[in-house]
Amino acid sequence: MIDWDQIHRLRSEVAQSDFHDILRLSLDQLEQAGAALRDTDPAADDAVEARLHFLKGTALTLGFETLAALCQKGESRAAAGQAAQIDMNAILNTLETTRARFVAGVAALQSGNDQIRNSASVTSSVISRST
| pLDDT tens digits, one per residue of 60-118 | 999 999 999 999 999 999 999 999 999 999 999 999 999 999 999 888 776 765 444 44
Structure confidence at residue 16 (pLDDT): 80
User: Picking from 3-7, 37-41, 75-79, 125-129, which range would have the lowest pLDDT averaged per residue?
Assistant: 125-129
* Neighbouring residues of 78: CB distance < 8 A, sequence distance ≥ 6: 45, 46, 48, 49, 52, 86
Residue type for position 12? S
Q: Which domains does the chain have, with CATH numbers?
A: 4-126 (1.20.120)
Regarding pTM above 0.85, the answer is: no
Kindly report, residue by residue over 40-58, the tens digit of the pLDDT.
998 899 999 999 999 999 9
